[in-house]
Structure 1
Amino acid sequence: MRSSATIKVMTVLLSLFVVVMVAYQVYYHFNEKRDTVEAELYTYNDNVTARGVFVRDENVITYSGDGVLEYNYADASKVSVGSTVANVYASEEDILNVNRIEQLENRIAELERAEQPGTTDYIQPESLKSQIDAKYKLLISASIDNDFDTVKKYESEISQIMSIYNLVTNATDSYDSVIASLKKELKDLKKSVKKPKEKIDASETGYFVSYADGYEAILNKEKCVNLNKQQIVDIIEGNDSVAKPPNSAGKLLKDYSCKILMVIDNDERVVSGIELKAMLSASKETYNVYVESVKDAGDGQSIVILTCDSLDSALVSERVQRIELVFDDYTGLKVPREAIRFNSKKEKGVYVILGQDVQFKKIDIVYEGEDYVLSKNTSNEDYLLLYDQILLEAVKNGNSE
């Protein structure tokens, strides 16, 4: 009996011991405190960003100053001498009526094209639907980019295709009554609309911009090279009391090139005679710029003069814009310098935790920062992989100390 009781007690104790050991292992696995960091993708770019002053050879366009302006050209559009760049109306209502007349004329033309013989004879609804979907995606993209001229273009194209689609699918039999109604509205509107009080014509061939800020008579491409650091900073910060020219309707740029004046911290990568890539905060485009000169401005700074032979609405949107000079980007797995170790083969790498094991993995450095490096992102398991747990502690004989 005693023997049986003893066996029972020993069995219970052994079972308890096993349970305790398993519990301990589970607890140890999930609660062991090790100083680690996860290997994550990181992109570093060492670009230079500063505000710049855009300088061109510009002539201000003026008018009587009485009335409301309706522009006929988008900014950065090329115009010929004698072209009417804007009309002057007595009120905004007149401008709204003129725009409504244009909308009515376009809509009538769309519906009449849709009803032309042969337009709907050989077109399948699926083909039209695919066209609508494709145009809609392009419209959304243009809208995100704030490219409103392109948005307007795709809106018109979608409207035209949908008009045809309605006829093909028998959603409507005819647009005759709609066209008649629109033509009546158009006729009545033309009777009431007033002609422009004044037309503003281009005095020379150039590139049109719809604003003037007062620097047109002060800055030009010849004078700007002599500006000192403080003068450039005053323009950037708006410290100059430069008044806008009275009765200005915009300006004409003599050509498409410009100079850009920047004050930056000294950077050995920015030297005279090289070409760089530049980006603006107002655009997703990348522009080619040429470093015309770099002058020491004192206090660890330089005056940089760039030239740019591109022209679009973003480049003329403001006199002062934030500019980013683009250099190489580096992408890789971010590794703290304190985690870098060498194995017995003198290979550079890190120790990572894999379950209960500690394993050495090599790193392939693509960029070195001050307190970290970037290792090439690879699928080779001998090297550090994405999401590996990098051990920051010192390791001895394959175990963390």
Structure 2
Amino acid sequence: MKKRNAPKIESARDAIPEGVPAQEDPKKKNGSLGTKALTALICLAVLTYFGIQVYTSYADPLISAVAYTYQVEDTISVTGFVVRNELVMEDSGGKLLRLNRSEGERVSAGGKVAQIYSDQASLDRQTEIDKLQTQLDQLNYASEAASASEAALKMDSQIAEKLVAMRRAVASDRLDTASDSVADLEALVLRRDYTYTDAEDLKAQTANIQSQLSTLKAQSAGSTRTVTAPKAGLYSAVVDGYETVLTPDTVDTLTPSDLSSLQPSGASSDLGKLVLGDTWYFVVSLSADDAKSFTEGASEKLRFAKGVDRDLSVTVQSVGAEENGRVVVVFRGRTYLAQLTLLRQQSADIVRSSVSGIRVPQQAIRVDENGSAGVYCIVGVEARFKPVKVLWSADGEYALVRAQGTGETTLRPGDEVILSAGGLTDGAVVSYAG
């Protein structure tokens, strides 16, 4: 039998004559179109997402502010006169004078106020006596110190305290107090140096200074006269002429025109004056509308522009009759008189009321679904609702609030509160624009 050769099967590609284009597989064509459509859809979705984010960021961006502790006060600014019961001391007659009291220092009846010297030599001797007496005190301290190292450490602490006191006095414009602090500071520095001096040297220096003191005191005998206080009171070196014009006996009868026309009497004294008693008065002229809110016997807070660095409790002594739309109001105080001896015509604020709380922008306060007021704060990457109670608010500006939440929902100073953001809910993830 003869074998038949199997027919040769050519591929479809081979079967297509040359010059005739090959036909594309329909399945492959459909797959390519689907991939392109899917890619386009994904790109469109991504662009849409970013477009929405950009629009949201610019249409309602995340704006925040820091909450902090704040106090709001209702005050009335006034200018008035400080009145005290004052006794002007007799003038020294132009002789050489040395005061022994500092401003505001309390003096007992018969206490030494000043010394009057017959000539310049007597004054110079007294200056030298005081200098030697200071050195003697420093030497005695060094001699009695049980341990030089312990004494030095104690001196260091006292020197630091005096430096702080001097800085505080300068900041509060009390140069008289600052001058005293400088003298005390100088004495402390010298005393500290003596703590390291040999014991025998200390004895020799002490004996020498005592000898000089005895000689100078003998020479100055009879050349000085001591001035004493006729009554007990606070000493003040300044006599401004109002001591007899403004007195506690006349403050309740003053009218607005009296206050506006007040003139000092021209009295003066190089010895100064004594402030008697413990009561002082502040007399002001107010508009009739402001004066209506004051009642005799009511307690108020007074804040002087200088002289004392705290609010003073005062009582309304009297409210006068109206004159040309003005009323005289007299306030009475019984504290810190020693710090007010230099004040006369003075600016001050009458503090009617004050509110303390956490300050937040008015725009940040919202009401939740339960009707509770609160603010949204940024905690990590989330917005958290913290309930508050509004204590005071300024129209369209800011408000003072008190935290009402507990634990993590308690609003605290330093929290970052949200003023504006899109889709703001408790627990929502927040992010800044850009």
TM-score (norm 2): 0.68
- Residues 46-65 of structure 1 correspond to what in structure 2 (within 5 A)? 46-63=74-91, 65=93
Partner in structure 2 of residue 132 of structure 1: 155
Cα deviation, 1:166-201, whole Å, max 9, x if unaligned, reads 15xx6x763245446655765786688797676544
- Residue 215 in structure 1 maps to residue 238 in structure 2: no
Cα separation, 1, equivalents of 2:133 and 2:248: 44
- Aligned to 1:323, the other structure's residue is in SS state strand
Partner in structure 2 of residue 111 of structure 1: 139
Partner in structure 1 of residue 401 of structure 2: 375
Match of 1:166 among 174, 190, 196: 196
Shift of 1:101: 1.9
Cα separation, 1, equivalents of 2:120 and 2:79: 36
- Residue 337 in structure 1 maps to residue 362 in structure 2: yes
- Residues 171-320 of structure 1 correspond to what in structure 2 (within 5 A)? 174-179=201-206, 182=209, 200-235=227-262, 240=263, 242-247=264-269, 249-264=271-286, 266=290, 270-280=294-304, 281-284=306-309, 286-295=311-320, 297=322, 302-310=327-335, 312-320=337-345
Change (3 A) 1:115 1:198: closer
Shift of 1:139: 1.1
Change (3 A) 1:48 1:254: same
Partner in structure 2 of residue 155 of structure 1: 185
Whether the 8 Å CA contact 1:53–1:321 is kept in 2: the answer is yes
Cα deviation, 1:102-138, whole Å, max 9, x if unaligned, reads 121121232134325xx43xx372x334422331232
Change (3 A) 1:154 1:68: closer
Shift of 1:346: 0.5
Letter in structure 1 aligned against 2:295: V
TM-score (norm 1): 0.73
- Aligned to 1:213, the other structure's residue is in SS state coil
Shift of 1:63: 2.3
Shift of 1:317: 0.9
Change (3 A) 1:112 1:339: closer
- Aligned to 1:51, the other structure's residue is in SS state strand
Cα separation, 1, equivalents of 2:126 and 2:115: 11
Letter in structure 2 aligned against 1:230: S
Match of 2:116 among 81, 88, 92: 88
Shift of 1:369: 4.0
Q: Which moved more, 1:99-108 or 1:354-363?
A: 354-363
Match of 1:360 among 376, 385, 396: 385
Shift of 1:350: 2.7
Q: Which moved more, 1:264-273 or 1:336-345?
A: 264-273
Letter in structure 2 aligned against 1:46: D
Partner in structure 1 of residue 20 of structure 2: none
Whether the 8 Å CA contact 2:159–2:189 is kept in 1: the answer is no
Letter in structure 2 aligned against 1:373: A
Change (3 A) 1:341 1:131: same
Change (3 A) 1:243 1:46: same
Whether the 8 Å CA contact 2:233–2:277 is kept in 1: the answer is yes
Whether the 8 Å CA contact 1:76–1:208 is kept in 2: the answer is yes
Number of residue equivalences: 383
Percent identity, aligned pairs only?
20
- Aligned to 1:367, the other structure's residue is in SS state strand
- Rg: which structure is higher? 2
Shift of 1:337: 2.4
- Aligned to 1:158, the other structure's residue is in SS state helix
Change (3 A) 1:393 1:195: farther
Partner in structure 1 of residue 347 of structure 2: 322
Change (3 A) 1:233 1:124: same
Change (3 A) 1:31 1:155: farther
Cα separation, 2, equivalents of 1:362 and 1:60: 62
Shift of 1:59: 3.1
Partner in structure 1 of residue 14 of structure 2: none
Shift of 1:291: 1.6
Shift of 1:158: 3.2
Cα deviation, 1:182-232, whole Å, max 9, x if unaligned, reads 557657866887976765444445443222111222221111211112332
Whether the 8 Å CA contact 2:255–2:320 is kept in 1: the answer is no
